[in-house]
Chains A and B, each alone.
Chain A
Amino acid sequence: DSGVTQTPKHLITATGQRVTLRCSPRSGDLSVYWYQQSLDQGLQFLIQYYNGEERAKGNILERFSAQQFPDLHSELNLSSLELGDSALYFCASSVQIAGAETQYFGPGTRLTVL
């Protein structure tokens, strides 16, 4: 158990809909990352937040957005869903160990768009 929690574990929805994925980082971790893992694209970095502020942006679609709240939990919002958005979405929180940042991944949320 990494200490990172994600809800829900599974989500099934229809095209055109909007969903929110939630992540709670490990206690004390200020950074949260979001990743998408699909069969054909592998693991893709989406976005990073640090203490409530956006820090880095990867391959995140404009239909997707995220935020990190004062209690450090984060939400990833996916809108106008398409079939291709079906994937496993991971959240990770990070900590500095000996000067290097190490990420700990949550169990993921499996999104199925029908």
Chain B
Amino acid sequence: AQTVTQSQPEMSVQEAETVTLSCTYDTSESDYYLFWYKQPPSRQMILVIRQEAYKQQNATENRFSVNFQKAAKSFSLKISDSQLGDAAMYFCAYRDAYGQNFVFGPGTRLSVLP
């Protein structure tokens, strides 16, 4: 079964600085999708960024970018120019190509210090 691991339960970053959140996963599939979701105190889940495994180019979305290392099964999220509104729980998620399996990591709580 696929698993998603986020080894950093908590992280903090100074406002305007850059922070990287780690995620590793385990799968025997070659085609799949990876996601980062943000859950602020409102508890709503917000899609931050997604990556298709067949694409070598790392996805970027404004201040958010990923470092996707397929061979290492690593999918880290980099947040540049951190803002107070970035403070939230961040979940890494894996989904297989057939849509039969959607697995979330345990989350990393990010604090942004003014």
Contacts and interface: CB of A to CB of B under 8 A. Distances in A.
A100 B37 contact: no
B44 A108 contact: yes
Contacts of A42: 104-107
B103 A45 contact: yes
Contacts, number: 52
The A interface, classified by DSSP as helix, strand, loop or mixed, is strand
B104 A88 contact: no
B47 A104 contact: yes
Contact of B99 (A56, A105, A107): A56
Interface residues of A, number: 24
A55 B99 contact: yes
A105 B52 contact: no
A102 B35 CA distance: 9
B100 interface: yes
B101 to A, nearest CB: 8
B44 A33 contact: no
Given A42-B106, A45-B102, A48-B99, A102 B47 contact: yes
Contacts of B104: 42-45
Contacts of A92: 45
Nearest to A56: B100
A95 B50 CA distance: 13
Given A42-B107, A99-B52, A108 B102 contact: no
Interface of A: 2, 33, 42-45, 48, 55-56, 58, 88, 90, 92, 99-108, 110
Interface of B: 33, 35, 37, 42-47, 50, 52, 91, 95, 99-107
23 contacts: A2-B44, A2-B46, A42-B104, A42-B105, A42-B107, A45-B101, A45-B102, A55-B99, A56-B100, A56-B101, A92-B45, A100-B50, A101-B33, A102-B35, A103-B47, A103-B102, A105-B37, A105-B44, A105-B46, A105-B47, A107-B43, A107-B44, A108-B43
